[in-house]
Structure 1
Amino acid sequence: MLNTDKKNIRHLSQDELTQYFEEMGEKKFRAKQVYEWIWLKHAHTFDAMTNLSKELRAKLSEHFSLPALTVDATQYSADGTVKSRFRTTDGHLVEGVLIPTENRQTACVSSQIGCSLSCKFCATGYMDRKRNLSYDEIYDEVVLINQQAERVHGKKLSNIVFMGMGEPLLNYKNVLKAIERISAEDGLGMSPRRITVSTAGVAKMIRQLGDDKVRFKLALSLHAANDEKRHEIMPINDTNNIKSLIDALNYFYQQTGNEITFEYILFNNFNDSLKDADELIKIYRQVPADLINIIEYNPIDLAQFSKPDEATTDKFMQYLEKHRVNVRLRRSRGKDIDAACGQLANKEVDV
């Protein structure tokens, strides 16, 4: 974790800040000013807090740290996608992506530095997990990507998906706290209904989301419709098989009524047959899912998978539609800058 003797000031609530200022003999309203600088004005240094005296800023700097993500490198795709590599205060790198469409500006954010799940088709899965991102670092990702959206496309973010590096439900507390700050009126004020958390499938934590009555959407990265195949590409299936995930998703829906989506990458000659489609339909029928997202596979250097041809993809899609499945084909964005689904790996880039 971050190596600092000073307490991160963003980890204090407004009440705790108020108590600190009162103990210092300062006016209570100073706490509100500092809180606004941190969460609304996105100050990344105490010197930026210009309505505080120099003496007070120096005192804050003496007692607290204010670590913040910075943009280390940025790449721009021909399709408008923007990939950023962010640097943490302790020198780690993590990536996030801005995905623009005609109607949406979506931030794809990371929750961990690296990943421990080792999914065979995902570039991040071949990296070691260094550590979890703290909730304020996740918040910074969203703030920085929002600034890019306004600068590059003249629009604010409309949606956030936790589909970047790492498994969000293995960084549960920080992800939920980040979403709380992102959706708070004294934060970014984004509706939780515009936020989707994607999981490779941690049944216990999916149930916990239900118990916590979260308000955001949930996506399950399924990618294979039977345990044998899913085990082959996603080792997490050993301890979280498909039945346990179906049960957990049903519990989540009973508790929250929130939208559930299945994510399903098509791999050539692996999970793209009509038999696979039948098995997928059976799973879809057992969960009150709103949608199955069929995702184009994006090749990575470390894996031997390839995507099926257009005819196979069309046949698969049409079969699902014929069986009254709400299905959508999600075209890859940002492939030319390794920003597409499954390609985030902190590669060195020219900037």
Structure 2
Amino acid sequence: MQANKTDIRSLSYEALQKLFLELGEKSFRAKQVYEWLWKKSCFSFNEMSNLSKELRQKLEEQFTINNVKVNTSQFSADKTIKNSFILHDGHLIEGVLIPADDRMTACVSSQVGCSLTCKFCATGYMERKRNLNPDEIYDQVVLIDQQARQNYDHHLTNIVYMGMGEPLLNYANVLKSIERITAEDGLNMAAKRITVSTAGIAKMIKKLGDDQVKFNLALSLHAANDAKRNEIMPINEQNSLKALAEALKYYYAKTKNPVTYEYIVFNDFNDEIQDAVELAAFCKHIPCKVNIIEYNPISFASYTNADVDKIEAFADYLRKQDINTNVRRSRGKDIDAACGQLAIKEKAVV
């Protein structure tokens, strides 16, 4: 990145209109450039073929496009693809393509590292360097979509903000990225195909309600009593289950969107029927479903996955309480691409 150049994608549509008038150009040029940037995902001014060569040169002199690039890609035996992406300032993040029979899902990051210290998550052992800009989140989606088309001849169908970082601690940029991804003059994806996952920040969940968001919300719960949740997720000390329940009720009242609870079942920690009883009680607050997730071991922590029969008994109890419950199998575990395993291990190569 050249220090004297502004990233043109940081400008609003209105700012672009003003810019072109100042350059002595017609204001409709703003629409053309905005479409190149956000609908056609253009990373070079030279590609903007309906602009004059002179205008393209002017833009090149004043602005840059700080696009994200694929650094490395790893292919799992189950066809999951994990990418490390390099940002304009040299930082690395990770994003994953998860193919399935009925969907193509992109798992994207929202921060470089993470400030939360969840004990079971590899990213939680990294330092948070900075938030991602909206365009850096958008670029991950574009690049993973290209990967889906090239490798599996299918476009992306779903996006989950479940990569590196806590999305609600990068609130404005995450919402701006979703606005660009869902806009007609952007990628035009349906908001209902996007899920934002949070470790549980009560005041920001309420803000989602105030903003009446249309995308899906998932809460990484993993324990339904405060003592256990405090042990594995220190964020719970300031965001107790009582505070989260209150925030979720507020969110549901504002949006009428059911919430998904993610629950990793750890061996000899939260895998007993009593834990299921506590989870079922928490599920009574608002309409919801539960995704039970098998644990993916990391070198930093000593947790292990619960036995299959315990997981099934746990899920069976919830179903008998009329709670919509799914058991999710890990994808990409052999390349450290599964839930909770994202952590930068390699260096930049591009």
TM-score, normalised to structure 2, is: 0.97
Match of 1:278 in 2: 277
Counterpart residue type for residue 41 of structure 2:
H
Question: 1:1-351 alignment to 2 at 5 Å?
Answer: 4-289=3-288, 291-348=289-346
Return closer, same or farther for 1:211/1:3 CA change in 2, 3 Å cut-off: farther
Shift of 1:5: 3.2
63 and 350 in structure 1: CA distance in 2 versus 1, 3 angstrom threshold: closer
Give the CA deviation at 1:120. 0.2
Name the amino acid aligned to 2:173. Answer: N
Relative distance call for 1:90 and 1:71 in structure 2 (3 A) is same
Q: Distance in 2 between matches of 1:186 and 1:58?
A: 24
| CA apart distance, 1:17 | 1.1
How much does 1:349 deviate?
Answer: 8.2
Matched-pair contact (CA < 8 Å) for 2:197–2:218: yes
TM-aligned CA deviation for residue 3 of structure 1: 8.0
**In 1, Cα distance between equivalents of 2:2 and 2:65:** 13
Structure 1: runs of 5 or more not aligned = none
Instruction: Give ranges in structure 2 of 5+ residues lacking alignment.
Output: none
How far is the alpha carbon of 1:350 from its aligned partner?
11
Structure 1 window deviating more from structure 2 (166-175 vs 277-286): it is: 277-286
Find the aligned partners of 1:46 and 1:324 in 2 and give their Cα distance: 55
Query: For residues 81 and 272 of structure 1, what CA distance do their matches in structure 2 show?
Result: 28
Q: Which moved more, 1:136-145 or 1:52-61?
A: 52-61
CA contact (8 A) 1:14 1:31 kept: yes
Over residues 103-152 of structure 1, what are the superposed CA-to-partner deviations in whole Å (9 max), with x where a residue is unaligned? 01111111000000010000000000000000010000111111111111
TM superposition shift of 1:55: 2.1
Aligned AA (2:293)? I
**Partner Cα separation in structure 2 for residue 136 and residue 155 of structure 1:** 23
CA deviation vs aligned residue, 1:237-294 (integer Å, no higher than 9, x gap):
01000010011011000000113110000000000001111111110112221x1000
Taking only the aligned residue pairs, the percentage that are identical comes to: 61
Contact 1:250 1:288 in 2 (8 A): no
Which residue type is aligned with residue 205 of structure 1?
Answer: M
**1:131-185, CA deviations, whole angstroms, 9 ceiling, x for partnerless residues?**
0000010000111111111111111111111111000000000000000000000
Whole-angstrom CA distance in 2 between matches of 1:316 and 1:215: 31
Residues in 1 aligned to 2:338 and 2:61: alpha-carbon distance in whole angstroms: 42
Q: Secondary structure at the match of 2:170?
A: helix
Is the contact made by 1:73 and 1:349 (CA closer than 8 Å) also made in structure 2? Answer: no
Distance 1:319 1:213 in 2: 33
Give the partner amino acid of 1:28. S
Q: CA deviation at 1:26?
A: 1.4
Output the CA distance in 2 between the equivalents of 1:234 and 1:101.
30
Q: Is the 8 A contact 2:92 2:348 kept in 1?
A: no
* Residue range with higher mean Cα deviation, 297-306 or 43-52: 43-52
Q: Secondary structure at the match of 2:284?
A: helix
Task: Determine the C-alpha separation between the residues in 2 that align with 1:28 and 1:321.
Answer: 58
User: 1:131, 1:68 → 2: CA distance?
Assistant: 17
TM-superposed deviation, 1:14 = 2.0
* CA–CA separation in structure 2 for the residues paired with 1:5 and 1:141: 25
| Aligned partner of residue 72 in structure 2, secondary structure | strand
Give the drift of 1:51: 2.7
**C-alpha offsets along residues 44-83 of structure 1, whole Å, 9 cap, x if unaligned?**
1222223323322221122112101000000111111111
Q: Could you report, residue by residue, the CA deviation over 1:206-265 in whole angstroms, capped at 9, with x for unpaired residues?
A: 000000111111000000110000000000001000010011011000000113110000
Query: Residue 286 of structure 1: SS of its match in structure 2?
Result: coil
Alignment check: 8 A CA contact 1:3 1:90 kept: no
Q: How many angstroms apart in 1 are the aligned matches of 2:276 and 2:347?
A: 39
